Amino acid sequence: MTETHLNHIAGEWRPAAAGAVFEDRNPADDRDLIGAFPDSGPEDVAAAVETVSSAWPAWAAASPEVRADVLFKAADIIARRADEIAAELTREEGKTLTEARNEARRIAANFRLYAGEALRLNGETYASEAAQIVFSLRQPVGVVAVITPWNFPLSMAARKIAPAIAAGNGVIFKPSEVTPLMGQRLVEVLLEAGLPPKLLALLQGRGAAVGKAITQHPGIDAVTFTGSFAVGREIARAVSTDTRLQLEMGGKNATIVLADADMAKAVGIIERGAFGLTGQACTGTSRVLVARPLYDALVERLAAAAGKFKVGPGTEDGVQMGPVATRGQYDRILSYVAIARDEGARVATGGEALRGNGDARLAYGNFISPAVIADLPAESRLLREEVFGPVVAIRPFDTLDEAMVLADETEYGLAVSLVTNHLPSVLRFARETRHGIVKVNSPTTGVSLNAPFGGFKHSSNQAAKEQGGATVMDFYTRIKTVYLGG
Ligand code: NAD
């Protein structure tokens, strides 16, 4: 029997007002129905906003220790249940069990980080005439809407919900419709940790319906969104001018292999960045720019490495790459491989649909072999557009100047990595590139949870950096300046 899941509104679990549901299936085997979830709409949004609006002032007035305590407890619960949650994450999103465990453990660390932030929400005092003291108060924004993607359904949500709560806000959380169960698990953990039940609403459903209704609701004070540029732009148009907005969007990240690079090291770095998480990371490596003398050898060695990648259900031992998360993404990725061929590029390896290729393990899932694409024309779409799958496009360059131009030749500006020991080139790149994250001798993926995260150009609206760093709480708080006279 299909398990039917519920929204969490006004401190109770309930179905969508209209009673509609949508299905959630395992991307490694689409016969496996995970459950049915509420297909919410504007009525559910109205009910959620009403209760969260009335609940947050009391939470904001609670002592910082109380807020920190809930987040520390939530971290302990997640750490205890990491394996169980990871198994569900693999079933719902497709990533390998190792990748899923890393994500589950990471959110425990995230919660601890933001628990600390609750205790560090400081204002400042300012030089003033003797008869008064001028100081700033840091206060919550109010009702924060959290809209998240499916690729890191736990960590993207945790790094928004936890700082929002730490600062004393109430939260309306809309997880991706691809990973509703992970959204529900996160809410369950926070409630079990003692969060006031009316402070956090969970609204399941489709972006175009409930997502849109949230962004248009006048009672929302801030929207923090991670997802595609197309949707981010739509949200920016939908919200009112006094709604605070944070947009973290796509990437077209490049690894740049300079002439002095060690070939084996470069291949290892690119493999991890391009095919880890099935290429479905916003910081995933989807371009490689390589010094021309190394080009042929790199294409050959990377293709050989990709050809050995073990693709299969994320639950199987030894599998390095799980399925793509949705059938829509599967079709889209394959269409990009076809575009590359049409453009005259050479598919050095992979890019094949593995569904129905005779292997019973792969017959019902969104499995694609990792692709290495070479000899692309300069204007190729694969060098500019986000594919969001295990497809890497390689292009040679002749000079560092040219590499710098090529690296920035996309509308995105999230992560770039360099493989080199040549310090002057690294320093120049780090200063001049229009990317928010610059990595040296490591993949474009993989970031420290306590460091600022965000991109330039279409990757981020630069409202405030996410994740860590001195300004991370700026998005979730307002500053009020007080002039205290005697
Ligand atoms: P998406 O933009 O399709 O959806 C993201 C979320 O927005 C989902 O919850 C969706 O339901 C909701 N949504 C869709 N339409 C909406 C609307 N009109 N109004 C309000 N909400 C709406 O993205 P996705 O396919 O879930 O995720 C993949 C994308 O996310 C990629 O572009 C990837 O680069 C990006 N991403 C970025 C980061 C980052 O930190 N920069 C991290 C992970 C993923």
Report the 10 Å Cβ neighbour count for 233: 14
- Domain 7-249+461-485 bears CATH identifier 3.40.50.1580: no
pLDDT (mean) for 24-47: 98
Residue of 95, 151, 283 best suited for mutating to test ligand 1, as the one with most atoms within 8 Å of CB: 151
**Ligand 1-lining residues (CB < 6 angstroms):** 147-152, 156, 174, 176-177, 207-208, 211-212, 215, 226-228, 231, 234-235, 248-251, 282, 386, 388, 414, 459
pLDDT class of 191 with cuts at 50, 70, 90 = very high
Quick one: pLDDT at residue 357? 83
pLDDT (mean) for 111-119: 97
- What pLDDT, in 10s, does the model give residues 404-430? 999 999 999 999 999 999 999 999 999
pLDDT (mean) for 136-153: 98
Domain ranges of the chain: 7-249+461-485, 253-440
pLDDT class of 253 with cuts at 50, 70, 90 = very high
Residue of 22, 173, 226 best suited for mutating to test ligand 1, as the one with most atoms within 8 Å of CB: 226
Q: Taking 90 as the threshold, does the pLDDT of residue 280 lie above it?
A: yes
pTM of the model: 0.98
CA end-to-end span of the chain: 70
Q: Taking 80 as the threshold, does the pLDDT of residue 464 lie above it?
A: no
Rounded distance from Cα 247 to ligand 1 centre (Å): 10
Rounded distance from Cα 115 to ligand 1 centre (Å): 26
Quick one: pLDDT at residue 440? 98
- What pLDDT, in 10s, does the model give residues 192-225? 999 999 999 999 999 999 999 999 999 999 999 9
Q: Taking 90 as the threshold, does the pLDDT of residue 260 lie above it?
A: yes
Q: Which residues pair with residue 475 across a beta bridge?
A: none
Quick one: pLDDT at residue 358? 86
Quick one: pLDDT at residue 450? 94
- Residues known to be catalytic: 248, 282
Q: Taking 90 as the threshold, does the pLDDT of residue 173 lie above it?
A: yes
Looking at the CA of residue 329, tell me the nearest atom of ligand 1.
25
CATH of 253-440, one of 3.30.420.10, 3.40.309.10, 3.40.50.720, 3.40.250.10: 3.40.309.10
Q: Taking 90 as the threshold, does the pLDDT of residue 468 lie above it?
A: no
Rounded distance from Cα 212 to ligand 1 centre (Å): 12
Work out the percent of the chain whose per-residue pLDDT is above 90. Answer: 97
Mean pLDDT of all residues belonging to the chain: 97
